[in-house]
Chain A
Amino acid sequence: MALRGHVLRYGDHIDTDVIIPARYLNTTDPAELAKHCMEDAEDDFIGRVRPGDFIVAGENFGCGSSREHAPIAIKACGVSAVVAKSFARIFFRNAINVGLPILESPEAAEAAANGDELEIDLTTGVIRNLTRGASYQAQAFPGFLRDIIDAGGLVPYVQRQLAAR
């Protein structure tokens, strides 16, 4: 499946507190969380983000709190994937578990600028920067994680496991 959208570019160490501040952990409703996504990272993320856009960031994206509200909020505000040089480990798991596509590619992240148009093939992990005419191969997920992703997240994966017992 190829996704197409524009880049919203961020730096290193974007933490889950700026992705979704604790003052909004008063709800588990994705639509409500989406309203405050990236609120402490910039003034008008919600005004700027368009459905299908990609967040592209530097090192250690999603560091800090284990709050799963962070990938949920990103997904619910229409972002179709996050590309980063690297992900913080809990965010990495959370994103896969809730079905937010993430791609690790230092080269793609380094080259992309705000507003660039990307085309991403989630099956192959190929990221094409249409604005710059460049193509990158994201890190492949281990087969085991592929199974969780293919199942649509950890919940359907675990349901299947429990049913098989």
Chain B
Amino acid sequence: MTISSPTRLEALLAEKAGRPVRAGEVVTLPVDVIMAHDATLALLIDEFTRLGCAVRDPDRVMVTCDHFAPPARIDWADLQRAVIDFSQRRGLDLRLYQGICHQLLLEDRRVTPGTLLVGADSHTTLAGAVGAVATGLGATDILACLATGETWFRVPESIGVTLTGAPKPWVMGRDAALYLLGHFGEAGAGYRALELRDRTANGLTMDSRAAICCMATEMGAKAALFVPDAVTAAFLRARDGAPWTFPDEDAAACAETLTIALDALDSLIACPHSPANIAGVREVEGTPLHQVYIGSCAGGRLEDFAMAAAIVAGRTVAPGLKVIAVPSSVTVMREAMRRGYIHTLLDAGVCVSNPSCGACGGIDKGVLGSGETALMTSTRNFQGRLGPRDSAVYLASTAVCAASALTGRITHPADVWWEEGR
């Protein structure tokens, strides 16, 4: 019997464990970064206090207030007060209304290739964009991590995903994520991890990588990480120059592999009520909309604002259509303002809200009314997530959302932008 070489995930986790590990094994590992936010941390504060626990290493923790940002209801304000007080008392890194937890982690010096990151939120997988091993846990697991500094993992099998080709100008990372969702369905990557390699002509941006890793959780994946490359190195150099290493690339033995040819990919869309209910935009074009939403950890980054601004520039959104754009962080918003994107969106009639999770979770501003249909860049379209059970949500890239904002109907981006040869 030959012993195959370890996957990147196995190699990374072996480094943490200080011994070889293989998929299927359960290992207890110290975690590098722990994240919790206002909606989930609230659940563990009383228990943590009752048990008399101490935070083992406050320097490894980030707490965000992004779900109730700022609170629109008294009960949410009460929950958030407890989160703010807890964080301040224990000397934790509190990010109050600075943006969505996952975007803030992507922007954080502590998160580099190989970082073992756990967060009390399912979309924690996003940090895999920089090569971190990042996964979501529930509140009690996070409580245990805060107290002990470690947690258990079942080492996942890896699925190797290679991206090739040069995408059409309106095809974004989100479309690759939608393609993967169509391929795997809601559970097809369950308990496994995606190891992504970027072999595209020009390299995907970090923003597109983030969109893909974020949505991996909707396929059931435990983690999704881009093998660090020149794009990663440039991103980290520009971010803060934080030092990093990564196990050398070798023949990683993924049990299953998949290649996405981006040049053959066109805009995709997830139809109600599942993020994996995938269709081509052409198949559902013309569907009337009540709301368009650009934001969330799956689509509120600078690249999204650049795309939205390019499409709506000099035009106005459809009459009566609610169009909302929410930057994923203050850093994104500041840069989008500096480059004029926010100005362009405001001129077109878009409502630009403060950096936060916004309507994505059905909590903050932008929820739906009875019988309403929305097109969003957000993460999920489960029945009832954004509003009553008879509301409906389609999910697509910012290019599709911005194009549809102009017409009030699901619209292919090529029809409103590229027809003018821009």
Chain A interface (Cβ within 8 Å of chain B)? Answer: 12-13, 15, 17-18, 21-23, 25-28, 39-40, 59-60, 63-69, 86, 88-90, 93-94, 97-98, 142, 144, 153-155, 158-159, 161-162
Contact = CB atoms under 8 A, between A and B. Distances in A.
Contacts, number: 122
Contact of B43 (A21, A39, A69, A159): A69
A17 B362 contact: yes
17 contacts: A15-B382, A21-B362, A22-B361, A25-B39, A28-B42, A40-B382, A40-B384, A60-B187, A64-B380, A68-B139, A93-B138, A97-B140, A97-B141, A154-B141, A158-B148, A159-B51, A162-B147
Given A60-B186, A90-B138, A40 B147 contact: no
Nearest to B51: A159
B222 A89 contact: yes
A15 to B, nearest CB: 5
B354 interface: no
Interface in B200-255: 218, 220, 222
Nearest to A87: B190
B331 interface: no
Contacts of B138: 66-68, 90, 93-94, 97
Contacts of A97: 138, 140-141
B31 interface: no
Interface of B: 26, 39-40, 42-43, 46-47, 51, 53, 73, 75-76, 79, 120-122, 136-141, 143-144, 147-148, 152, 186-187, 190-191, 218, 220, 222, 274, 361-363, 380, 382-385, 389
Contacts of A154: 140-141, 143-144
A26 B75 contact: yes
Nearest to A67: B40
Contacts of A65: 121-122, 361, 380
A29 B362 CA distance: 20
Would you list the 10 A-B pairs with minimal beta carbon distance, nearest first? Answer: A40-B384, A94-B138, A60-B187, A26-B75, A97-B140, A68-B138, A17-B382, A66-B122, A22-B362, A68-B139
